[in-house]
Amino acid sequence: MLHGLIERLRQKKRTAAYPGKPPVLPERFRGLPLIAEAACQTGSCGKACASACPTGAIQTHDNGLSLDLGLCIFCAACASACPHAAISFSREYRLAGTSREHLVIRAGRCGQAEDNPGDIPLLVPLDRKLRSMFSRSLKLREISAAGCNACEADCNALGNILFDVQRFGIDFVASPRHADALLITGPLPKNMRLAVQKCHAAAPNPKIIIAAGTCAISGGLFRNLSGQGKGVPELFKPDLYIPGCPPHPFTILDGLLRLLGRI
């Protein structure tokens, strides 16, 4: 015990200063994709980026590209395949949105994503009544619907000393009966539907539905396989979509805080 206390004193404060200060992200972090309108030449490049995308997140149009964050696994295969360097990945971590449609980005829309908050996906906070109920105390029941454990691990990291989600009154609970929100990860295959529906029924109303990770939003890499699902929207309409494969803990935390009107 004494050695543990001495070590904590040596390490000093390790909790991130976020949201008071911008988060410190890993050097290899891939955030919001950027599509350079001037560089995009879909008519002459053979749609190489769309062909390289393993989930079909990229669609080509007469006036350029669109990229669906709800399908994107942030593998950067599109950026490597594009001969004109029209696609790149910024360090913008604010990816969560409250509308599926606003997860689709287009050429030119996100050119200043790191400087202009208006270019990140639209996230509308809960209405005043729900904010008054949950903004200072939100209990999450995490449901792993056949996830690979990547999203689950980053959700688990929210409780460590760096992110310390409990300082915002947000915590994970063991039972849906104690939960204000269901945070669902994984592609939600057929064999998990009944379990998820039972958890949903057990959670008291009003409740918030959160789809965390590409699999939970759309089924991700597995959406066209036999027995697999296409994510949470096949059963419930999410109140919050958090893209990523997996989403970084700061991305999850940012989505939760903005939904609660805390940012």
Q: What percent of the chain has pLDDT over 70?
A: 93
Domain ranges of the chain: 33-119, 128-259
Give the model's confidence band at 108: pLDDT under 50 very low, under 70 low, under 90 confident, else very high: low
Domains 33-119 and 128-259 fall in the same CATH topology: no
Q: What does the DSSP 8-state code read for residue 241? A: E
Is pLDDT at 245 greater than 90 in this prediction? yes
Determine whether domain 33-119 maps to CATH 3.30.70.3270: yes
Determine if the peptide bond prior to 204 is cis (ω within 30°). Answer: no
Quote the mean pLDDT of the chain: 88
Work out the average pLDDT over 140-145: 95
Q: Give dist(CA 118, CA 137) in Å, integer.
A: 28
Lowest mean pLDDT among 50-64, 98-112, 151-165, 184-198: 98-112
Q: Which fold, 128-259?
A: Rossmann fold (3.40.50)
What tokens were used for 244? Answer: 């990523």
pLDDT of 118 strictly over 50: no
- pLDDT tens digit string along 188-230? 998 999 999 999 999 999 999 999 999 999 998 888 787 788 8
Burial class (CB in 10 A: 0-12, 13-18, 19+), 155: buried
Whether the CB-CB separation of 230 and 187 falls below 8 Å is answered with yes
Statement: residue 87 has pLDDT above 70: yes
Range 61-80 average pLDDT:
89
Reported as a single tens digit per residue, the pLDDT across 125-141 is: 999 999 999 989 999 99
pTM of the model as a whole? 0.90
pLDDT of 33 above 80: yes
Q: Up-side HSE of residue 166: CA atoms within 13 Å toward CB?
A: 8
Tell me: the pLDDT tens digits for 174-186? Answer: 999 999 999 999 9
Task: Indicate whether 115 pLDDT > 60.
Answer: no
Task: Give backbone dihedrals phi and psi of 168, rounded to 5 degrees, phi first.
Answer: -100, 5
Alpha-carbon torsion, ordered 116, 130, 176, 232, to 10 deg: -50
Burial category of 200 from C-beta neighbours within 10 Å (exposed 0-12, middle 13-18, buried 19 and up): middle
Residue 117 confidence (pLDDT)? 44
Structure tokens at 7: 């070590």
> What count of Cα atoms within 13 Å lies in the side-chain half-sphere of residue 101?
0
